[in-house]
Amino acid sequence: MNATDKTWPWKLLLAVILIGVAAGTWGAVQRIDYQWRWNRVPQYFAYLAEEARKVPFDGKVTAIVPQGKDVLVTLVAGKSEKIVLTVSADSLKVKEGEELFAGDTVGFEKSWRLGPLMLGLWTTLWLSAVSSLFGLFLGLITGLARVSKNFTIRWLALLYVECIRGTPLLVQIFIAYFFLGTVFNLSRNVCGVGALALFAGAYVAEIVRAGIQSISKGQTEAARSLGMTAFQTMRDVVMPQAFKRILPPLSGQFISLIKDSSLVSVIAITDLSKSGREIITSTFATFEVWLLVAAMYLLVTSLLSQLVFYMERRLAVSD
Amino acid sequence: MIKAQNVVKIFSGQSGVVRAVDGVSTEVAKGEVVVIIGPSGSGKSTFLRCINGLEAFTEGHIIIDGVDLADKKTNINKVRAEVGMVFQQFNLFPHKTVLENLTLAQCRVRKRSKKVAEEKARMLLRKVGIHEKADEFPSRLSGGQQQRVAIARALAMDPKIMLFDEPTSALDPEMVGEVLDVMKQLAKEGMTMMVVTHEMGFAREVADRVIFMDEGKVVEVGTPEHFFTNPREERAKLFLKQVL
Ligand SMILES: Nc1ncnc2c1ncn2[C@@H]1O[C@H](COP(=O)(O)OP(=O)(O)OP(=O)(O)O)[C@@H](O)[C@H]1O
Ligand SMILES: [Mg+2]
C-alpha cells in the first residue's frame, strides 16, 4: 500500500473544508450590500501616466518628427532659444508652423509608472531588508554579549533584550519617532529603520544566545585545550555549528519582521499597508485592497520561506 | 615536567561548597606515565582539568615546564598548546572533516601552513591507523575511531604532556583495546602522560606510578606492583575490591 492511497481521503476532506470556508465567506458577503470593484485595482499596481508638455516661451513649431508612437516637436523662439519636446503621437495638439505662447500645451507624454501598491511593496521590502541587516548585526553582538564573562557587558545586553521584548513594537516606534526622532532630529525613515532594527536585534540576540549555548561545552573545551583563543574558538568552532541551528529561527524572525514592518505606517512611512489605506480613501474598494495587500505580504513571506527551506537542505551536508 | 603543589579547587554552587580537589601535591617527570584512579566524584577529572587551566584552581601552584599557572602573567593558551588533552566524550568538531579536525589548531595556534599541517595530520592519522578516513566527517566514524582521531588531534600540536580523562569510558567494550593500544604505543615512545582511567589492566601494564584519589585528596601513591598487590590504605583496598 503506498502513501497516496492512504492520504487521498484527507486531501479530499481538506478540499471540502476550504471550499466550504470560501463558499461561506462568499455567501456572507452576498448578504451585505457590497459592490466589488476589482476593475479599479490594476491601476494601483501600474498605470499609464499622462504628463502635459507645455511651451516654456513664446515661439514657433519648426518641425514635427515621428518616432515610433511618439513625435518630437521642435520649437524655436528668436535666434537662440530652441527646445525639443516629446509627446505621444495621438495627443499632439499643434501643427507645424503654428505660433504658440508660453504655457500652451503641445501634447501629452505617456509612460508606465508603478502604482502605489508596488511603491509601497518596495518600501516594505527595503525597510525590512535594511532593518534585518542592522538587526542581524546588533543581534549577533548582543547575543555574544549575553554569554560574555564580563558582568557589565552581560547585563547591558540583558537589559536591552528585556526592554525590547517587554514592550510593544508599536510603542517603540512611537518612542523612536516622537521622542528620539525629535531630540536627535532624525528623519522618519531613520526612526522607522532604527526601531525595527532594535526590535529585531533583541530577538536575534536571544536566538544567537540559545544557538551558542546549545553547542556542548566539550566543543569549547576541546578547542581551548588545543591552545586556541576564546575568539578563535567562537569563530572556528562554536559559531559555525551554532549557525546551522539558528538559521531556521533566524529566518523566521526576519520573515516576521516583514509583517511587523507594517506598523511603521503609523509614523507616515508609506509602506505596503499604508499604501493600501491611502488607496481605500480614494476608491472605497476596502475589501479588494486589503485582500490584495494580504496576498502580497503572503507572497513575499512564502517566497522567502521557500528560499530558507532550500538553504537548510544545502547546509545539512555534514550530519 | 609537571609540579603540583597543594592544589585546591573549590566549587561553590547552590548546593553548597565542594572541595573537589583538596590539597593535591605531586610531581611528574619527563617521560613518566602516571595513572590516577579513584571512586566517582573523587576529583580526578577536576585535578586533570586544572593542569591545563580548563578549571582555574583556588589555591596552590601548578608548574608546567617551569611556568606557574597560578601566575596571572602566564599566557594560558601557550601552556595549553604544550599540554594535549583527550576527553571521555571525544569532543571532535562535528562540522569539520577528520583532517580539518587535526589541522585547525595547528594553523591557528602553531601558525603552520595548510600544507605542513596536512602532512603532519596524515602522518598522525596513519600512526593511529585511520588515514583512510581523513576526509570523512566524525559522525561517520565508530567511537574507537573517533577517540583515536581525538588523540591524533592533540598530538598534532606536538605537546610535551598528554592528559587523558577516562578516554575509554564512553566506548563499547570491543573498541577499548584499539584506543589503549595507541596510548601504550605513545607511552613506549616516551610521552609524558597523566591518565585518569578505570582500566586497571592498562594501569598495571603501562603506569610508572599510580595515584589513588578519594574525596579530593591523594590517598595513596605507588608503583603498580605495590598498589595492586599490597595497598596500605583501607580505602584503596576497598576500591580495588570493587573494580577488580
Ligand atoms: N562544574 C562543577 N561545579 C560544581 N561542582 C563540580 C563541578 N565539577 C565537578 N564538581 C564536583 O566536584 C567533585 C569532583 O568531581 P570530578 O568530576 O573531578 O570527579 P571524578 O573523580 O572525575 O569522578 P568521575 O569518576 O565520576 O568522573 C564532585 O563532587 C563533583 O560533583
Ligand atoms: Mg571524571
Interval between CA B42 and ligand 1 midpoint (Å): 7
Contact at CB, A318 and B154, closer than 8 angstroms:
no
Q: Kindly state the DSSP code that residue B62 receives in the 8-state scheme.
A: E
Nearest to A101, CA basis, from A50, A145, A57: A57
- pLDDT recorded at residue A2: 57
pLDDT tens for B84-129 read 999 999 999 999 999 999 999 999 999 999 999 999 999 999 999 9
Counted across chains A and B, CB pairs separated by less than 8 A come out at 71
Contact at CB, B93 and A318, closer than 8 angstroms:
no
pLDDT tens for B176-213 read 999 999 999 999 999 999 999 999 999 999 999 999 99
Collect all residues of chain A within an 8 Å Cβ-Cβ radius of residue B154.
225-226
Contact at CB, B80 and A224, closer than 8 angstroms:
yes
**First vs last Cα of chain A: how many Å apart?**
31
- pLDDT recorded at residue B3: 94
- pLDDT recorded at residue A318: 56
- pLDDT recorded at residue A303: 94
- pLDDT recorded at residue A173: 96
DSSP symbols for A223-235: HHHTT--HHHIII
pLDDT tens-digit profile, chain A (319 residues): 555 568 889 999 999 999 999 999 989 988 988 888 888 888 889 988 888 888 888 888 888 888 888 888 888 887 788 888 888 888 888 888 888 888 888 888 888 889 899 999 999 999 999 999 999 999 999 999 999 999 999 999 999 999 999 999 999 999 999 999 999 999 999 999 999 999 999 999 999 999 999 999 999 999 999 999 999 999 999 999 999 889 889 999 999 999 999 999 999 899 999 999 999 988 888 899 999 999 999 999 999 999 988 888 887 765 5
Helix, strand, coil content of chain B in percent (nearest 5):
40, 25, 35
- pLDDT recorded at residue A319: 58
CA distance B135 to A317: 13
CA distance B166 to B203: 12
3-class secondary-structure state, position A33: coil
Nearest to B244, CA basis, from B222, B229, B223, B233: B229
If pLDDT is split at 50, 70 and 90, which confidence band does B158 have?
very high
Chain-centroid distance of CA B122 in Å reads 22
Ligand 1 and B197: CB distance under 6 A: no
Collect all residues of chain B within an 8 Å Cβ-Cβ radius of residue A241.
93-95
Interval between CA B37 and ligand 2 midpoint (Å): 10
- pLDDT recorded at residue A29: 87
Q: Where are the alpha helices (DSSP H) in chain A?
A: 3-31, 116-146, 151-165, 169-174, 181-184, 188-214, 217-225, 230-232, 239-260, 272-283, 286-315
Q: Tell me how close the Cα of B188 comes to any Cα of chain A, in angstroms.
A: 23
CA distance B184 to B178: 10
Nearest to B145, CA basis, from B186, B187, B103, B174: B174
- pLDDT recorded at residue A314: 81
CA distance B216 to B224: 21
- Give the residues across from A110 on adjacent strands: A50
Inter-CA distances, A118 with A42, A292, B4, B12, Å: 11, 12, 73, 61
Collect all residues of chain B within an 8 Å Cβ-Cβ radius of residue A227.
77-82, 105, 109, 157
Ligand 1 and B43: CB distance under 6 A: yes
Q: Using an 8 Å Cβ cutoff, are A69 and A96 in contact?
A: no
Nearest to B46, CA basis, from B167, B236, B213: B213
Residues 6+ away with beta carbon under 8 Å from B148: B128, B129, B130, B178, B179, B182
Percent of chain B with pLDDT over 70: 100
- Environment class of B217 (CB within 10 Å of its CB; exposed 0-12, middle 13-18, buried 19+): middle
- pLDDT recorded at residue B16: 87
If pLDDT is split at 50, 70 and 90, which confidence band does B146 have?
very high
3-class secondary-structure state, position B160: coil
Inter-CA distances, B33 with B30, B45, B204, Å: 9, 17, 11
Instruction: Give the global pTM.
Output: 0.82
- Which is more confident, A283 or B223? B223
